[in-house]
């Protein structure tokens, strides 16, 4: 559901190693395994050009910013890590001016506002499109075509995903949905999960439950791949992801169909066991700068991420004394309260980890 920067770095380096060694066919398993082992030992031994070095530095910056810094608690350490990551990104741009991921991440770090970041993404979209077209047209051998057919397209998909997600945050829901539709038309399999942003944008545009179902049917290819926790008997109730369930719950809540909203909340809590704390606290998780962070489909982490991304939906109704927000309705729902009480009785003591930070 997300782009893995380390995996992508490895794939790029393996492909370039194959080019240098004239390895063909490209599915030479023994060669790939040997090269992967070299990558695990020391990726630097596979880097032979500025383009590869640039992407490798960007991947290292992503590891720091998206997967390490959010779990640190010491401000001095956070500052050091962010400075190191920013240096990696600046060097990446110097080595390869067409490293669009590095350009985008640097702007995300320094943009004065979310609106300014959305404007940058819109203003520079044509440049990355033209660069991608040039790369595809220049592919004149099997290695270049392999790169152009997949790896070269991923920065463009990440650009679109960032545009859609930040347009959603900026309240530009129609723009967010339009960009999602363009991305899904270009890459129907949706490797980055932009369909989830589209689902939230639809809900913010006050789509009905039927319109949400039509969206899923229209983009059935992107919803076909089921994670390991999505397997079910063919007669069982269809298992939906957290973004879809939150959107459906919002549609029911917004139309005063509280029984329908109750039913969807119950389905959400069955799909994601031990979900009460996430639904009660509704913590906002920092958005990945490179892409949506990697999480296991069907896991509690997926629910936490979906709740965080659904903040624009959850905040509906805030400020109206006679109309409690959607977030409050969920947090104070009997199903959530009861589940929290049952959890407390089963596991007395402080909730969560005894320590803070560390690996997650």
Max Cα–Cα distance, the chain, nearest Å:
70
What's the CA gap between 287 and 200, in Å, rounded? 15
Which tokens in the block code for residue 92? 């990446």
pLDDT value at residue 253: 95
Q: For 32-89, how does the pLDDT look when each residue is reduced to its tens digit (9 = 90+)? A: 999 999 999 999 999 999 999 999 999 999 999 999 999 999 999 999 999 999 999 9
Query: What's the confidence (pLDDT) of residue 231?
Result: 41
Q: Which residues of the chain fall short of a pLDDT of 70?
A: 1, 225-238, 317-324, 344-360
Q: What is the DSSP string of 154-214?
A: HHHHHHHHHHHHHHHHTT-HHHHHHHHHHHHHH-TT-TT-HHHHHHHHHHHTT--HHHHHH
Q: Cβ contacts of residue 224 below 8 Å, gap of 6+?
A: none
pTM value surpassing 0.85 = yes
Q: What percent of the chain has pLDDT over 90?
A: 84
pLDDT of residue 239: 81
Predicted confidence (pLDDT) per residue in 328-355, tens digit: 999 999 999 999 998 766 554 443 333 3
Dihedral class, residue 190 (left if φ above 0, else alpha if ψ from -120 to 50, else beta) = left
What was the pLDDT predicted at 348? 44
| Residue located via tokens 């070269």 | 152
Distances (CA, A) of 309 to 90, 210, 247: 28, 22, 11
Extract the tokens encoding 270.
Answer: 């069955």
Residue 44: the pLDDT is 95
């Amino acid at each position: 559901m997300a782009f893995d920067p380390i995996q992508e770095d490895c794939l790029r380096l393996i492909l370039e190693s194959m080019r240098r060694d004239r390895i063909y066919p490209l599915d030479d398993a023994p060669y790939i395994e040997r090269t992967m082992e070299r990558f695990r030992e020391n990726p630097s031994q596979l880097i032979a050009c500025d383009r590869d070095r640039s992407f490798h530095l960007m991947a290292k910056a992503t590891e720091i910013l998206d997967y390490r810094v959010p779990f640190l608690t010491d401000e001095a350490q956070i500052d050091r890590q962010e400075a190191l990551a920013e240096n990696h990104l600046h060097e990446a741009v110097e080595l390869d001016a067409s490293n669009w991921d590095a350009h985008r991440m640097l702007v995300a770090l320094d943009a004065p506002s979310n609106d300014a970041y959305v404007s940058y993404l819109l203003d520079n979209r044509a440049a990355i499109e033209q660069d991608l077209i040039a790369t595809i047209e220049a592919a004149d051998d099997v290695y270049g075509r392999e790169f152009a057919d997949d790896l070269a397209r991923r920065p463009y998909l990440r650009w679109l995903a960032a545009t859609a997600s930040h347009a959603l945050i900026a309240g530009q829901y129609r723009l967010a949905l339009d960009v999602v539709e363009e991305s899904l038309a270009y890459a129907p399999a949706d490797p980055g999960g932009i369909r989830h942003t589209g689902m939230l944008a639809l809900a913010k545009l006050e789509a009905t439950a039927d319109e949400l179902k039509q969206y899923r049917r229209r983009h059935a290819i992107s919803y076909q791949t089921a994670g390991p926790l999505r397997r079910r008997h063919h007669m069982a109730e269809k298992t939906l992801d957290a973004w879809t369930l939150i959107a459906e719950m919002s549609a029911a809540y917004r139309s005063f169909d509280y029984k329908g909203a109750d039913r969807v909340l119950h389905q959400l809590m069955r799909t994601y066991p031990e979900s009460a704390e996430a639904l009660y606290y509704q913590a906002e998780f920092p958005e990945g700068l490179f892409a949506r962070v990697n999480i296991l489909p069907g896991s509690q982490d997926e629910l936490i991420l979906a709740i965080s991304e659904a903040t624009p939906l959850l905040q509906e109704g805030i400020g109206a004394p006679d109309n409690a927000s959607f977030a409050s309705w969920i947090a104070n729902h009997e199903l959530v309260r009861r589940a929290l009480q049952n959890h407390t009785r089963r596991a007395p003591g402080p909730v969560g980890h005894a320590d803070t930070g560390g690996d997650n």
